[in-house]
Amino acid sequence: MSIINSLNKRRSYYNIKKSSPISDEEIIKLVQDVVAGVPDAYNMQSAKVVLALGKKQDELWDAIYDVFDGQVKREKIDSFKAGYGTILYFLDKDIVKGMQDQFPLYAENFDIWSNQANGMLQHSMWVALREKELGASLQHYNPVIDDAVKKMFNVPASWKLIAQMPFGEIVEEPGEKELHPIDERVKIFK
């Protein structure tokens, strides 16, 4: 499959189910390979992930519902809980701080680069999951859920939660997406 094909197949999938065309071992390997393969500034490797599968998937989304205390509708949370698993994306503030101390001239860039690298990782994972017929979406219930997530997965205090990516076997393809004319977004000069 070409990269353009894979990029175009990735969409936000909100209708997913609790099954997977690939085994847990294959999912774990895919997540590890994508994390290892995505670059970061100065090779600092500030992005960290937690993969929640099985009962942890259900516990995670129930905890998110509880933290919001009814402010997010049950059916919305259940649409994510209905997935096979969730990938939680973090950046490690200790790694960023270490780089800032080491390279004070660029200090303010490291936070930005760390966030950019995290976005690159999220997108790469999204595309890689879709190549395996797993649909995903990108959610942001942080920072409200930060404490609950940290407690549930016992993550180090330095890990800052950036995004949540529920995924599962695809039930329904999303509708057509409106795109701005490409000439307004890409300028060519020769």
Ligand X SMILES: Cc1cc2nc3c(=O)[nH]c(=O)nc-3n(C[C@H](O)[C@H](O)[C@H](O)COP(=O)(O)O)c2cc1C
Stretch that binds ligand X, among 18-26, 66-74, 132-140, 150-158 (CB under 6 A): 132-140
Helix (H) or strand (E) holding 120: helix 107-131
**Which SS3 state, helix, strand or coil, does residue 53 take?**
strand
Of 188, 173, 183, 171, give the one whose Cα is nearest residue 8: 173
**Which SS3 state, helix, strand or coil, does residue 75 take?**
helix
Stretch that binds ligand X, among 76-84, 97-105, 136-144, 149-157 (CB under 6 A): 136-144
Q: Which lies closer to ligand X via its Cβ, residue 138 or residue 152?
A: 138
* 138 scored as a contact of ligand X (CB under 6 A): yes
Side-chain-facing half-sphere of 139: CA atoms under 13 Å: 22
Q: Using the rule CB under 6 A, which residue among 9, 11, 56, 132 binds ligand X?
A: 11
Q: Which lies closer to ligand X via its Cβ, residue 97 or residue 132?
A: 132
* 143 scored as a contact of ligand X (CB under 6 A): no
Stretch that binds ligand X, among 67-75, 103-111, 137-145, 146-154 (CB under 6 A): 137-145
Q: Using the rule CB under 6 A, which residue among 96, 137, 165, 170 binds ligand X?
A: 137
Of 23, 42, 53, give the one whose Cα is nearest residue 112: 42
Residue 88 pairs with which residues in a beta bridge?
50, 164
Binding stretches for ligand X (CB under 6 A):
11-12, 137-140, 174, 177
